[in-house]
Amino acid sequence: MKATPPADSLDALYKGYHGWLLSWLRRRLDCPHNAADTAQDTFIRLLGAGAYVTPREPRAFLATVARRLLVDRSRRHKLEQAYRDELARHAEFMEQVPSAEQVMAAVQALEHIARALENMSPRMRQVFVLRHLDGLSHAQIAEQLNVSTKTVQNDLVQALLQCHAAGGVL
Model's pTM, two decimal places? 0.60
Same-domain pairing of 6 and 84: yes
Q: pLDDT band at 3, cuts 50/70/90?
A: low
- State how far the Cα of 1 lies from the Cα of 8, in Å rounded to an integer: 21
CATH number of the CATH domain containing 32: 1.10.1740
DSSP class of 93? G
Longest Cα separation, the chain: 68
Q: Give the model confidence (pLDDT) of 6-57 as tens digits.
A: 788 889 999 999 999 999 999 999 889 999 999 999 999 898 888 888 899 9
What's the chain's average pLDDT?
86
At 66, which amino acid appears?
A: A
- State how far the Cα of 159 lies from the Cα of 170, in Å rounded to an integer: 11
Rounded to 5°, angle at Cα 115 from 90 and 87: 10
Domain containing residue 91: 1-97
Same-domain pairing of 61 and 87: yes
Q: pLDDT band at 157, cuts 50/70/90?
A: very high
- State how far the Cα of 167 lies from the Cα of 108, in Å rounded to an integer: 9
Same-domain pairing of 107 and 165: yes
Helices (H) and strands (E) in the chain, counts: 7, 0
Give the pLDDT confidence score for residue 64 in this predicted structure.
95
- State how far the Cα of 48 lies from the Cα of 36, in Å rounded to an integer: 19
